[in-house]
Each structure stands twice: as structure tokens, then as C-alpha cells.
Amino acid sequence: MDRIEIIMPKISANMEEGIVVGWRKKRGEIVKKGETIVDIVTGKINYELESPEDGHIAEIMAKDGQIVPVGQVIGYLDKEDKVEITENISNISAEKQSPGLREYRATPLAKKIARENNVDLSKIVLPEGKTVIGEEEVRSYIQQQNEHSRNDLLTKVENFSKSGEDYTQVQIAGIRKAIADNMSKSAFSAPHVTLTTDVLIDNLLALREHLQDQLNDSKITLNDMLIPFVVKALSEFPDINGIIDNDTIKRFNKVNLGVAVSIEEGLIVPVIKNAQTMSLSEVSVETKRLIEKARKGQLTEDEISGGTFTITNLGMYGIDGFTPIINPPQIAILGIGQVVEKPVVKDGNICIGNTMVLSLSFDHRAIDGAQAAKFLNMLKNYIQNPYAPVIRVV
């Protein structure tokens, strides 16, 4: 029987380990070549590992939720559709079974499963007439223990509820863990400073409405409108458009703009590559494409890497202003708040205007406050006077 190793793949150049999110197939199940057999997460990428051949799952070595180094075996595939699982009981050791003094034997596979799950074989009671502990008995015991643990937890939760300390415990894992690690790295390694400013966007909204009439086939969002101005301001301040690599600051001529997207598991940042070359309509199409892939969990490693600057918008959640956390190793991030109608002064008169808050967080190791303030003021001027810079619409 030909046995094939199923290994943790190296999905990206800097990947060192991945998380086994869940097996789509159980041990013994038949699979076809190209069929997804296990879901893997690395960084913020969901990856569907496909079967390399027709056959059946012979062994599952890595449990759901387990972190596995690249190249390590997570399972085995047998290249036969007919499942014949046999257990070699040669060299079986005898130990005392509890309760009682009966002798028991265990197959190598049963021992292996017990070892991986920290099961004491002496606690497994065999049914009448059976003398060898097999896989079935071990798995049944594990299931019973899990059920006991679950019942214990429910009892504890019920007791907490009675004492006014009700809570639900959730393991930080998968994409949520990757986000947590990334944010912790940013918060503790980069000295954050945040500047905020109010921006009057009446002219921008009028321009958007005018352009929308020209692009009936594609809805232009407010984010789409802001991106060309962010890109233009970054071209004027290349010190902000870059990353910190250990003790080196890398400034880029191109703008790879990250756009934060909220998904069920948390937050992910797909990247619009070479945004400085794109027209408004191209930006709109590419943004929608990346957001759709993000929410389906289909982004590739290339589509979330290489960013030089990030924007994050919480306006749709009714947030005015906030302190965004830098997306490492980038130097800065721009937060965008909701559109608010409020009194403003125009030509010496008080009137109602549409405003929003822009929040720029930056790494003080790379730039100082004066540079950041100049960048933010230039961006504000572009947005309030959107006809000044030339925008390529299509």
C-alpha cells in the first residue's frame, strides 16, 4: 500500500508554522485528488490544503487547533480507495488494568492515540470477552472524558451565573490569534503618536455625486474617493510611505495601500498594489474585489503583504475619531471617522457642513510630529479642495 505524507505546507516565504483549523475528512474516509482535506491558517490567510492523490485518510497526526511547523507531517494518505485498517498486535505489552487485576493488551495504534491524547490506558475498561484495547476503545474513552469535561464546565458556568460572575471562555486561536500577535507587536515595539483633524468634505461629496453620474456601472464609495488624495499626499511625503526593518527605514516610490476590512474572525488588510498608477474607477474595482475575497477567506499571501501605508475606516460604525494601531512594519496608518453634519464657518458665516475626523498614527522612530502634521494638513487641503489635484477618473 502506497502511503503519502500530508505535511504542513510553506504557503509564503516567511511562514514558519501554521494552525490546523479543522479536518474536512475523518480517518478512513475516501478522498479524490484536488479535494480539500484540511483547513490551515497562517498569519491572516485561510488555506485549503488539497489531497495530492486519490485514496483515503490513513492517519491524522495533528489535531484541530494544533500549531505545526512547516514541513512537519500532519497526516497520512493511502493511495487506495478500499479502506482496510488493520492493527498489528505483535509485541503487545501487558499491564495491570484498573479496576481489578485483569491483564490487558493494547495495539500499537491504540497506544499511539493514547499517548497523543495523554490517556492512561490502565483506566480503560474493556467490554466482556475482549482482551485487547483497540483504537475504538481509546477514542470512546476520550469522547467520554471530553463529555465529562464539558459537563463540568457547564456546571461551573452555571455556578458562576448564580454568583453574578457569568462568562464565556473563548480560546484565542487562528486568525484571531494572528491579529492579536500582530497588534501586540505593533503596540509594544512602535512608539505611537496620533494626530487628529476635522475635515470639511462638502466639495468631496459633490465631486463624488458628479463622478457617480459618469460611472453608472460602478458605485463609488467615500473610501474610493479618499484613496487618490491619500496616494497623492504620500507621494509628497515619502518619509511616511515606508516600513521599519530592524534599524533600517525603507521608503518606497510606489504606494501599496492597505485597506483594513472587517471579517467575522476580526480584521484583515488586503493591499492595493501600485495604487499610484490607478484611476479612481480602477481603485474602486480593485477595492471591491479585495474586500469580497477577504470576506470569503480567499485572499492570497501576496494580496495581504507588501503594504507601505494603511487606511482604516470606522465611520460606518458611528465612530467619530479613534486611535488606529500601526500595521507593522509600516510607519503610519490613517483612521477615518463617520461623516457628521455640524456648524462650520464659511466666508465668515456660520452654516451646516459635512465633516469627518482623520486620525494619523505614526511611528515616532521614523518621523517626527512636524512631518506628520504637514502630511495630514496637505491631505486635508486636498480633500477640502478636491478639484485642485488632478484625479484620473478612468
- Residues annotated as part of the active site: 364
Task: Give the amino acid at 36.
Answer: T
What are the Cα distances from residue 262, in Å, to 57, 90, 224, 267, 313?
35, 55, 17, 5, 10
Peptide bond into 108 cis (omega under 30): no
Distance of CA 241 to the CA centre of its chain: 23
- Is residue 333 within 8 A of residue 326, CB to CB? The reply is yes
Q: What whole-number distance in Å separates Cα of residue 27 and Cα of residue 349?
A: 75
Quick one: residue 274, left, alpha or beta (phi over 0 = left, psi -120 to 50 = alpha)? left
